[in-house]
Amino acid sequence: MTDENPFILPPFAPRNRLQTPLAVVAVLLGVALAGGFWMFLERGKANSSARIAREDLKASQARSAALAAEKEQLETEKAQLETEKAQLETVKSELESVKRELSKSVQAKEDEIAELKGISDKILDKMKDEIAHGDIHLEQAGSRLRVVLAEKVLFDPGEVQVCKRGEGVLARVAEVLAGTPDQQIQVSGHTDRAPITSKLAAQYPTNWELSVARATNVVRFLAEKAKIPAQQLVASGQGEYQPIASNKSSAGRARNRRIEILLTPAPTPTTKSKLKAAAKTGGKGAAADKKTDKAKKSGKKPKAGKTHAPSKGGKPAAK
């Protein structure tokens, strides 16, 4: 009996020749399947990433287009705002100009009132006696000063020529008026309602002619003897049609027979008319203003209302 060692393995028995190639094929097939599955997964990931990238690109393009449109709109709004700003600056400049003109106008009006107040005070000082007797009185309303002289202090009854006493009265008034080159001086004749006397009827058929003749003679005295520039003077006749008292009494009729000397600032273009002229002419208003200033320096003043320039011989020049 042969002793066998339990620790010694039996000799290796070779396998079947077909088992080895099959195992290799199986292994390769498994590797191929695993690789194909991995590639499938990777391709899916790649396709998903490409799809996401395309979607992101489209979204980015859409955002870019929206931003471009928004930018264009903002540029348009900016241009509109710039235009509106320029317009507002123009309006602001115009308003400032108007404000300055109005300020100058207000100051000029205050100066005019102050100047007339000074003239009134001087006349009050020079004509104390006549004012105390009621033969002369003064009325100031804003920038208008009216000096009312009773007929009896200037004319003899039924006469149109200024009497000696009247010349003295007018000479004192003229001393004040001579220092007012910026004032227009309108002399108005007024009568009562009584018919013209036979002595005057041939030359002055109505109270119109009589009132104008008396006003004209006062103007001639102021221009020729008191040396007040004729450009400042205006003569007008109101006849019986602007009474200040009732014609039913002798006292009322006496008050209505009067000469009024009205002082007003010489006419100058107002702020409103300057602005309108500038808007219509596109700057030609400045030339017109220069022309007005030139005329003002030369002493020429425009005349307004129903006027009659003084003429020689004591008769009004018909207009």
Helix (H) or strand (E) holding 280: helix 271-281
Choose the most confident range, by mean pLDDT, from 18-27, 36-45, 145-154. 145-154
Domain-wise residue ranges, the chain: 74-245+252-266+301-319
What pLDDT does residue 6 have? 58
Encoded tokens for 123: 């006349």
Give the residue with greater pLDDT, 153 vs 36.
153
What pLDDT does residue 56 have? 87
Spacing of C-alpha 107 from chain mean position:
16
Query: How far is the first Cα of the chain from the last one, in angstroms, to the nearest whole number?
Result: 183
What is the chain's mean pLDDT, rounded? 81
Give the residue with greater pLDDT, 56 vs 286.
56
- How far apart CA 167 and CA 226 sit, in angstroms, is 10
Q: Is 277 helix (H, G, I), strand (E, B) or coil?
A: helix
**Tell me: the pLDDT tens digits for 173-232?**
999 999 888 899 999 999 999 998 888 888 999 999 999 999 999 999 999 999 999 999
Question: Residue for token digits 């520039």?
Answer: 229
Over residues 312-317, the mean pLDDT reads: 41
What proportion of the chain, given as a percentage, has pLDDT over 90? 48
- How far apart CA 130 and CA 123 sit, in angstroms, is 11
Choose the most confident range, by mean pLDDT, from 49-63, 98-112, 231-245. 231-245
Encoded tokens for 298: 């030369």
What pLDDT does residue 4 have? 58
- Sequential DSSP letters for 85-137: HHHHHHHHHHHHHHHHHHHHHHHHHHHHHHHHHHHHHHHHHHTHHHHHTTSEE
209 and 188 in contact (C-beta within 8 Å)? no
What pLDDT does residue 284 have? 47
Q: Give domain 74-245+252-266+301-319's CATH superfamily.
A: OmpA-like domain (3.30.1330.60)
Instruction: Give exposure, 84-103, as e/b (b: 16+ Cβ within 10 Å).
Output: eeeeeeeeeeeeeeeeeeee
What pLDDT does residue 21 have? 74
What's the whole-model pTM score?
Answer: 0.57
HSE on the CB side for 49, CA within 13 Å?
Answer: 6
- How far apart CA 65 and CA 280 sit, in angstroms, is 49
Residue 274 Cα distances to 141, 182, 291, angstroms: 26, 20, 13
What pLDDT does residue 315 have? 43
Evaluate if residue 303 carries a pLDDT over 60.
no
Of 229, 218, 167, 221, the C-alpha closest to 189 is 218
- How far apart CA 305 and CA 310 sit, in angstroms, is 15
What pLDDT does residue 282 have? 46
